[in-house]
Amino acid sequence: MSAIRPGLLVALAPLLLQFATDASAGSCIGGDCPKLTSSPVGAGYWAWPRKKLSAASDIAAACRSPAFVANDGSYITVDFTARAPQRLLEQGSCQFDAERQTERCDQIVRGDGGYRHGVLTISYATDEDGALKASVKGEAVDGPKKGERVAFDMYPVRCPDTVVLEAMRSFFSK
């Protein structure tokens, strides 16, 4: 785990975005999708709700706990909500496999019992309404839940920079 303070990473995120290139793949509808050459989740701030969001207010609320994704696929997830007992929720690194059309993420999740390591395998599709859908399969690789497997769907949404920056400002002004 890095010796860099999480707050420093969050503070530097807006600067990193200025130099980021978007690796997003184009979207498609239904099953006639061209093969992805890179992850549809490019550099920037992302929320990962388990239900589709379309209203700006719902997206803004979800973006108070954003993941900052860097160009190299590494990420941190932070929580700027008042109820958060801790601010750094998880960190990890994801690599997209164009041949298999999946993304593998190795992650460290901070929970009540300390840190846990896990592996996620994600397949992406675009629903008919245009929403990006991530079908996630995960496995705990250590700790009391070692070997436990989960599967669920999420609907990643790109967070507007202004929403995340306002959440940061309100958090640091308290």
Identify whether 43 is part of a domain.
yes
Identify whether 1 is part of a domain.
no
Q: What is the mean pLDDT of residues 4-12?
A: 35
Q: What is the mean pLDDT of residues 13-18?
A: 34
| Residue among 43, 52, 57 at smallest CA distance from 13 | 43
What pLDDT score was predicted for residue 22?
35
For residue 109, give Cα distances in angstroms to 21, 112, 142: 27, 10, 11
pLDDT digits 0-9 by tens, 61-73: 999 889 999 999 9
**Range(s) of the domain holding residue 134:** 6-172
Please state, rounded to an integer, the average pLDDT across all residues of the chain. 81
What pLDDT score was predicted for residue 95?
97
Angle at 58 between CA 53 and CA 62, to 5 degrees: 90
Residue in this structure with the two tokens 């969001």, named with its chain if needed: 53
pLDDT at residue 103 tops 70: yes
Confidence of residue 172 (pLDDT cuts 50, 70, 90): confident
Q: What percent of the chain has pLDDT over 70?
A: 80
Q: What is the mean pLDDT of residues 96-117?
A: 88
What pLDDT score was predicted for residue 85?
72
More confident of the two residues 166 and 88:
166
What pLDDT score was predicted for residue 31?
54
Identify whether 88 is part of a domain.
yes
pLDDT digits 0-9 by tens, 20-67: 333 333 445 455 567 889 999 999 999 999 999 989 999 999 998 899
What pLDDT score was predicted for residue 59?
95
Q: How many domains does the chain have?
A: 1
pLDDT digits 0-9 by tens, 109-131: 887 777 789 999 999 999 889 89
Compute the residue count for the chain: 174
| Residue among 59, 69, 61, 104 at smallest CA distance from 90 | 69
Confidence of residue 93 (pLDDT cuts 50, 70, 90): very high
